[in-house]
């Protein structure tokens, strides 16, 4: 997981802090456009899990009436709070984790995940919790790092994860089969795009991604 929520904090490595500083100096335009695509067409009340420093807040469409942004890291949460104050849509930033969301049953029209399921300890538990807070007919919007469908590249992902990536980047595992886990949690995939993008060779093993929409069955 290369989201900002995993790159903050004293416990993170020099590598993680370097990636964060580089993103601040030179934001990745492709990743920004993928975030914009993910959020397009959202309506009503939205829960964003693992919002990091809040860099997606400015990309939400005006049809969203409010955002509850959950972020466990205090440094990232402080940065997100600053961005929330500048957003055109009301945003509340709170402490919380994906497996025990501080939100009511059925209270949200959509839940947004950006680079989250690759690093939560139990993705299936997180997705079941997401189902709890979604209103009937609600959507799960996800943009996630995933394992490659190519055997050789998947081997490279496993090797880099074991050597440095998972330890240095907040527990991120680049070889998770996120599509299968979403289905196992009782969601139906409404749309799914697969792609390959990395801002540099340093992050190449996190390049395979899925971007999609899921609904409860």
C-alpha triplet 124, 168, 15: angle, nearest 5° = 140
Q: If you average pLDDT over residues 28-40, what whole number do you get?
A: 95
Cα 107 to its chain centre, rounded Å, is 20
Phi/psi at 104 (5° precision):
-80, 160
Q: Which tokens sit at 97?
A: 């984790």
Question: What mean pLDDT do residues 87-106 have?
Answer: 96
- Is residue 158 pLDDT above 50, yes or no? yes
Check residue 14 and give its pLDDT.
57
Average pLDDT over residues 117-135: 96
Is pLDDT at 97 greater than 70 in this prediction? Answer: yes
Domain map (residue ranges) of the chain: 4-216
What's the average model confidence in pLDDT over 146-155? 97
DSSP secondary structure letter of residue 10? T
CATH topology of domain 4-216: Rossmann fold (3.40.50)
| pLDDT band per the 50, 70, 90 thresholds, residue 47 | very high
Average pLDDT value for the chain: 90
Per-residue pLDDT band for 1 (boundaries 50, 70, 90) equals very low
Q: What is the pLDDT of residue 3?
A: 43
Going 123 to 125 to 130 to 135, the CA torsion angle's sign is positive
pLDDT score recorded for residue 177: 97
Q: Is the dihedral of CA 147, 180, 73, 90 positive or negative?
A: positive
pLDDT at 11 over 50: no
Task: Taking residues 211-215, report their average pLDDT.
Answer: 97
**pLDDT score for 13:** 52
For residue 4, the model assigns a pLDDT of 40
Q: Residue 170: is its pLDDT beyond 50?
A: yes
HSE on the CB side for 49, CA within 13 Å?
A: 31
This prediction's pTM: 0.90
The answer to which of 26-30, 45-49, 119-123 has the lowest mean pLDDT is: 26-30
């Amino acid at each position: 997981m290369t989201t900002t929520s995993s790159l903050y904090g004293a416990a993170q490595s020099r590598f993680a802090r370097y990636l964060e500083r580089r993103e601040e100096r030179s934001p990745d335009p492709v990743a920004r456009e993928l975030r914009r695509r993910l959020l397009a067409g959202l309506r009503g009340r939205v829960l964003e899990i693992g919002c990091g420093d809040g860099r997606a807040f400015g990309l939400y469409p005006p049809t969203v009436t409010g955002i509850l942004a959950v972020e466990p890291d205090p440094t990232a949460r402080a940065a997100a709070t600053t961005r929330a104050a500048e957003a055109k849509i009301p945003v509340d930033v709170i402490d919380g984790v994906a497996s025990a969301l501080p939100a009511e049953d059925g209270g949200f029209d959509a839940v947004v995940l950006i680079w989250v399921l690759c690093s939560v300890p139990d993705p299936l538990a997180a997705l079941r919790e997401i189902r709890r807070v979604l209103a009937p007919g609600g959507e799960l919007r996800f943009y996630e790092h995933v394992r490659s469908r190519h055997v050789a590249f998947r081997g490279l992902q496993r090797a880099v994860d074991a050597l440095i990536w998972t330890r240095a980047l907040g527990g991120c595992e680049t070889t998770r089969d996120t599509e299968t886990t979403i289905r196992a949690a009782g969601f139906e995939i409404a749309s799914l795009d697969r792609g390959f993008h990395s801002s540099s060779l340093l992050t190449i093993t996190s390049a395979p991604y899925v971007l999609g929409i899921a609904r409860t069955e």
